[in-house]
């Protein structure tokens, strides 16, 4: 373990930019902490934190200058690995035929700064979606294989977090190049740094890093433990796949539907949801056409529309599909749950539907089938 100060964190950003990376990190924008390109630590949300509850998110000023004193906002890193809208190809009329031109935009070289442990787990899950034995997404994998990841361990929890019960946080254990834990105390403002890859070690060697003392490591571990102890929510995942499979007709689905707006907020903020659709566009002359991929949602009425009609017409059916896929059939498809416990779907649901509570209602109901 080593320690660095803020000036060395700024140096990391400079080194990565010099190496050709576009550095993406947290910034304050439109009343939330989102991920965007940064030039230096001056762009980071110094002194800002967040308060979250079911259906509620707001920024608050902290009483210190912490750079990572927030939890997670409405965006996840999937927006860079799996863009919201992407052109796949275009075609132009060529005599009596067409010439097809595939998108040839250069693959971006990203450095992600501030990736939380639950978000790392989400990236691992999307790896299984976009790079498996049946299907490989070339864009996702080209970007994924070319990123530098600096994770930041959580030192506080939002009231909507439940990553501990999903075994995805609050401390990152692997999947990063460099991991940081921010400490602000009587000994100053510093970061305890851990290296996981050769790329991480090569970068750290260019810093003015010092060997962390036992007291500094303990201070960092204490803050991460505080985040774990501060978690107010949890999800009992014991037998959850069978629980949901066996309760397809449970009355709680109808009760949820009386509140659900089918707005798709939960799927858009979720770091693992991957539903998408294709759009074909053409100009008025018919000489040029394009195909675009864009995010979609299983809450969208059109998403379940097929030639024979729509097989998921009610909010009840759509919410049941989302939660059962996320927590049950995802396991059959990809060998893992689709939930990492980040709590975004709870915070950003306009009516505050809480997935942890809905699971417990089904589990503890006298009408539940075992």
Q: What is residue 160's predicted lDDT score, i.e. its pLDDT?
A: 96
Q: What is residue 250's predicted lDDT score, i.e. its pLDDT?
A: 95
Q: What is residue 97's predicted lDDT score, i.e. its pLDDT?
A: 84
The string of pLDDT tens digits covering residues 37-62 is 999 999 999 999 999 999 999 999 99
Q: Which letter does DSSP use for residue 131 in this model?
A: B
90 φ, ψ (degrees, to nearest 5)? -135, 155
pLDDT band at 133 (very low <50, low <70, confident <90, very high): confident
355 φ, ψ (degrees, to nearest 5)? -60, -35
Tell me the DSSP string of 294-348: EE--TTSGGGGEETTEES--SHHHHHHHHHHIIIIIHHHHHSS-S-----HHHHT
pTM of the model: 0.93
Q: Which of 112, 28, 30, 117 is nearest to 78 (CA)?
A: 112
Q: What is residue 200's predicted lDDT score, i.e. its pLDDT?
A: 95
Q: What is residue 274's predicted lDDT score, i.e. its pLDDT?
A: 95
Q: Are the CB atoms for 92 and 99 separated by under 8 Å?
A: yes
Q: Which of 84, 122, 216, 161 is nearest to 342 (CA)?
A: 161
Q: How far apart are CA 309 and CA 311, in angstroms?
A: 6
The string of pLDDT tens digits covering residues 267-314 is 999 999 999 999 999 988 888 999 999 999 999 988 888 888 888 889
**Tokens, residue 143:** 């970007």
Domain coordinates in residue numbering, the chain: 2-229, 240-364
- What is the residue-averaged pLDDT of the chain? 94
């Amino acid at each position: 373990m080593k320690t660095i100060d803020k000036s060395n964190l700024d140096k990391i950003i400079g080194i990565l930019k010099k190496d050709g990376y576009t550095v993406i990190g947290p910034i304050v924008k439109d009343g939330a902490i989102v991920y965007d390109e940064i030039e230096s630590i001056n762009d980071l949300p110094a002194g800002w934190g967040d308060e979250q509850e079911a259906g509620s998110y707001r920024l608050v000023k902290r009483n210190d200058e912490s750079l990572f004193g927030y939890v997670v906002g409405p965006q996840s890193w999937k927006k860079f690995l799996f863009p919201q809208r992407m052109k796949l190809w275009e075609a132009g009329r060529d005599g009596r035929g067409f010439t097809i031109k595939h998108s040839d935009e250069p693959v971006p070289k990203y450095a992600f700064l501030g990736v939380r442990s639950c978000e790392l787990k989400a990236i691992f899950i999307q790896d299984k979606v976009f790079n498996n034995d049946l299907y490989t997404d070339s864009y996702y994998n080209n970007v994924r294989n070319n990123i530098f990841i600096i994770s930041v361990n959580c030192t506080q929890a939002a009231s909507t977090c439940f990553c501990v019960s999903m075994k995805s946080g609050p401390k990152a254990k692997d999947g990063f190049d460099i991991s940081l834990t921010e400490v602000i105390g009587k000994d100053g403002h510093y970061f305890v740094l851990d290296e996981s890859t050769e790329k991480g070690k090569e970068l750290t060697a260019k810093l003015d890093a010092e060997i962390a003392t036992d007291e500094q490591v303990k201070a960092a571990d204490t803050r991460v433990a505080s985040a774990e102890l501060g978690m107010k929510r949890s999800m009992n995942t014991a037998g959850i796949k069978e629980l949901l499979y066996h309760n397809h007709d449970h009355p709680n689905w109808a009760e949820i539907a009386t509140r659900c707006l089918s707005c798709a907020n939960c799927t858009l903020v979720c770091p693992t949801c991957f539903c998408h659709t294709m759009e074909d566009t053409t100009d008025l002359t018919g000489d040029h056409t394009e195909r675009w991929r864009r995010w979609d949602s299983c809450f969208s009425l059109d998403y379940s529309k097929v030639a024979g009609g729509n097989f998921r017409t009610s909010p009840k059916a759509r919410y049941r599909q989302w939660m059962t896929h996320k927590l049950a059939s995802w396991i059959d498809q990809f060998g893992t749950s689709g939930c990492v416990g980040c709590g975004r779907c709870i915070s950003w649901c306009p009516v505050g539907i809480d997935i942890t509570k809905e699971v417990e209602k089904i589990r503890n109901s006298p009408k539940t089938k075992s």
